[in-house]
Amino acid sequence: MAAREPPDKAKPEHVVARIVRSLFVIHCAFLAAAGGFLALAELSPYLASLKAEMAKSDTALPLCYLVWVISHGARRLMKAKVAADLKAVREENRRKGKRR
């Protein structure tokens, strides 16, 4: 089996790349969700009225964007913690496997 050494994600260039990628994903996901909302507004009268209200307000879109970014950020932080823990579990078991 090929060597399974993961790339060193702590390197500065990887950290920057991950931040850029995260920002890209957050914004793309926001655009996709907004697109989904607009599509659903064509089907649902309630969402259509919400869309009309949003079109009248200047604060609606920035507010949604802010809540989206904060929520997405919270999830990514949580995922990073989970990933670190899983990585530790894998490392520990890999070491045990090598020793056997």
Considering only residues 55 to 94 of the shown chain, the ones binding another protein according to CB under 8 A are 57, 59-60, 63-64, 67-68, 71-72, 74-75, 78-79, 82-83, 85-86, 89-90, 92-94
Q: Could you give the residue ranges of the DSSP H alpha helices within 44-59? A: 45-56
Pick one of 3, 8, 13, 96: the residue that binds another protein (CB under 8 A). Answer: 96
Q: Do the Cβ atoms of 47 and 37 come closer than 8 Å?
A: yes
Backbone angles phi, psi at 58, to 5 degrees: -85, -20
Fill in the amino acid letter for 71.
S
C-alpha dihedral sign at 81, 11, 22, 67: positive
Q: Where does this chain bind another protein (CB under 8 A)?
A: 1, 4, 33, 37, 50, 53-54, 57, 59-60, 63-64, 67-68, 71-72, 74-75, 78-79, 82-83, 85-86, 89-90, 92-94, 96-98, 100
